[in-house]
Chains A and B, each alone.
Chain A
Amino acid sequence: MSTIVLLLITGLGLGALYFLVASGLSLIYGLMGVLNFAHGSFLTLGAFAGWEVARRLGADSWAVFGLALVVGAGVGAAFAALTELLLVRRLYERHIEQVLVTVGLALATVALFEGAWGSDPEFIEGPAWLRGTTDVAGAPVPNDRFLAIGAAVLVLVGIVLFLRYTRFGLIIRAGVENRAMVTALGIDVRKAFTLVFAVGGAAAGLGGVLASQYFGYVSPHLGAQLLIFAFIVTVIGGLGSLTGAAVAAVLVAVLQQFANYYWGYGDLVVVLLLALVLLVRPSGLLGRRA
């Protein structure tokens, strides 16, 4: 019983990280049709920024950890917004080229991170509570799982509220639905593009700081590692669907944890799940029919 609880909560924590990456991917794809391969780099840079903050100001206080989260999210958002302004915007409406540009950016930035911080993982520290465990139904659950789950729920609620109750959210939702019509009504959708990139980058940067706590290290390959599963989550959930991404993130991560524990090939099970979903519902769980 306690093993199942532990696997379940660990899976939820991993799912939270997948969701933080996949939410941005899904929003960006939904609005602009861009598959963003550089999203992993946003996450990695956020993780390194948070790590630098913690290293300089003392890692074990909560105030510094909070600052690290804010800085990580801010750096991710700034990097993402710059990517959109300088690279993606120039290739408006040319989807394949946009993908290619983000691929090039991902290759170049990972190499740059390796040059700046070394290719080996750097082990990190944080507030003492995060290293401890809490008993849930007899299972000692590491506390950082709860933090990741809480943050992901907050981000989900925040993005949903933002999309539903703000003017920019309205424009983004309308743009996902029918971009040509929004443009025809005289609304500048391009501002929304930058904004969506920034929101996605902030979620990824936040995810970077949390992922480095979850795994216990930062490395230049942290982002690429999570990105592939985030892609799978986005396809299973349905491209462009935020709720779909949340459901699929939990499903994929929990399944992966259980299969890893009982069978040892969790990553393969995830790919099989993807194949199954595509055979039954090519548009994903909550995606609109193409």
Chain B
Amino acid sequence: MTTTPTTQQSSPRSDETAPLPADDGGTVPARRRWLPPAIGLGLVVLLACLPLLAISLPGVLPGPTYTPGTLQVLALALLVGALALSYHLLFGVAGLLSFGHALYFAVGVYGLAIVLDRTDLPLLPAACVVLVGGIAVAHLVGAISLRVTGISFAMVTLAFAQAGNVLVRRNPAGATGGEEGLALDTAHVPDALVGVANTRNLYWLALAVLVVVYAIVLWVERSRAGHVAAATRENEMRVRVVGGRPYLVKLLVFVVAATLATGVGMAYLLLQSGAVPRVTSADFTLTLLVMVVLGGVGSRWGAVVGGVLYTLLDQRLGALASSEAIAGLPSVLRVPLSEPLFILGTLFVLVVLFLPGGIAGAAQRLAHRSGRDRQREAARETIEESA
């Protein structure tokens, strides 16, 4: 089983994740080095201004951008983007295919809901308690499940997440509310974060969460531990041989990703003002995986785009399913088209089959091609000039 030639296995991946040859070398013009951060900063400023503007995107958003309904959808998309980014740290950087990432998100959602419900702690101390709890759970589960690698690791994390799901559904001591879920107890939450009228504050909170998660993921990826994690993804044996400690580094990345997910989960609770058992399900982790692959494995902005795109598609396809245009179709077309998850699942299969590298990979190839064209054109011009 293990005798398959490893070069075949790793070559498509390393091709995708390796930096573009020569382009990023010393000859890069200064303009291209500060351009991406500048675009990112501009985008964040634009997003921060959205609640003050009246931009309508019919078909994509339910209404103008200042309305609470639209801001709610956008905030949800930003939070899911942040969650997908934390999953990117796990899967894209460390190469850990986890099927239990929803567990740590659920620890944030349910943990904060229970602490606010059962104690008199104000929001910030309560959030700190939940964060510590999330770190503890991540250490415990990570330490056990990282004893195995590859597919076994995926199944073990799935099993732990399933245990969390069972626990939430069984409703021990009435703490989780079982199938009905748990409503947010707003007694100790600042007034600025409660109510439909304050949706834009929640939107800004979601944007802040996304920016912070992005910064932490960037920091971890650029750190020594991040480099060792990426090296472990490519070839664990070699990391061992040169004296690295793959287990500890993987555990570190696992815990950081889980803690980020817990943080995003707490913001999710405030936004949705309640916890439902769906966030603990295995399906929810699978959708995270779908987002990251859709956006492009190994790409930070790809994960965010994947998360945002998935959420918007999910919301809008639901609206499409109940529209009259679909209801009038014959049942062969109507049944599949009225199931958003069918369309998303099919889209996902197509991306895996025909678009390796997802959206980010496609964009990179496109940029690469146009860059080559430009070089070729410049070369042709110099030839023509000299002629």
Contacts and interface: CB of A to CB of B under 8 A. Distances in A.
A96 to B, nearest CB: 6
Interface in A256-287: 264-265, 267-268, 270-271, 274-275, 278-279, 282
B349 A87 contact: yes
Interface string B224-243: 00000000000000000000
A104 B346 contact: yes
Given A95-B151, A99-B151, A30 B1 contact: yes
A97 interface: yes
Contacts of A270: 159
Contacts of A186: none
Interface in A97-118: 97, 99-101, 103-112, 114-116
- Residue from A87, A112, A270 having most chain B Cβ neighbours under 10 A: A112
B315 to A, nearest CB: 16
Residue of A96, A106, A179, A224 with most chain B CB atoms under a 10 A cut-off: A96
15 contacts: A35-B151, A37-B286, A90-B353, A93-B9, A97-B356, A100-B289, A107-B345, A108-B348, A115-B342, A179-B3, A180-B5, A267-B163, A271-B162, A275-B144, A275-B160
A87 B354 CA distance: 11
A290 interface: yes
A176 interface: yes
A94 interface: yes
Given A90-B353, A104-B349, A179 B151 contact: no
Contacts of B348: 100, 103-104, 107-108
A289 to B, nearest CB: 11
Contacts of A239: 151-152
Given A99-B97, A110-B341, A290-B2, 16 more contacts: A29-B151, A90-B353, A95-B151, A103-B289, A104-B290, A107-B345, A109-B345, A115-B336, A234-B155, A239-B152, A267-B163, A274-B156, A278-B156, A279-B144, A279-B147, A282-B148
Given A111-B345, A176-B1, A179-B3, A94 B155 contact: no
Nearest to B91: A96
Q: Is the interface of B mostly helix, strand, loop or mixed?
A: helix
Contacts of B1: 30, 33, 176, 179, 240
B42 interface: no
Contact of B352 (A101, A108, A115): A101
* Residue among A109, A115, A240, A290 with most chain B CB within 10 A: A115
A133 interface: no
A111 B283 CA distance: 12
Contacts of A275: 144, 156, 160
A112 B339 contact: yes
Nearest to B145: A278
B12 interface: yes
Given A97-B352, A105-B349, A231 B158 contact: yes
Given A95-B9, A116-B335, A278 B148 contact: yes
A87 B353 contact: yes
A278 B342 CA distance: 35
Interface string A171-185: 000001011110000
B349 A101 contact: yes
Interface of A: 29-30, 33, 35, 37, 87, 90-91, 93-97, 99-101, 103-112, 114-116, 176, 178-181, 224, 228, 231-232, 234-235, 239-240, 264-265, 267-268, 270-271, 274-275, 278-279, 282, 290
Nearest to A231: B155
A228 B159 contact: yes
A66 B353 CA distance: 39
Given A108-B346, A116-B335, A279-B147, A179 B159 contact: no
B341 A268 contact: no
B119 interface: no
Contacts of A107: 283, 286-287, 290, 341, 344-345, 348
Contact of A235 (B8, B152, B170): B152
B166 interface: yes
Nearest to B167: A268
A95 B336 CA distance: 28
A275 B158 CA distance: 12
B297 to A, nearest CB: 9
A125 to B, nearest CB: 26
B186 interface: no
A103 B152 CA distance: 16
Contact of A93 (B4, B159, B282): B4
B151 A100 contact: no
Contact of B158 (A93, A115, A178, A228): A228
Nearest to B337: A115
A115 B335 contact: yes
Interface string B86-105: 00000000000100000000
Contacts of B147: 278-279, 282
A273 to B, nearest CB: 10
B8 A93 contact: yes
Contacts of B67: none
B290 A108 contact: no
B166 A267 contact: yes
A115 B338 contact: yes
Nearest to A101: B352
A109 B293 CA distance: 19
Nearest to B335: A115
Interface string B336-373: 10111110111011001100100000000000000000
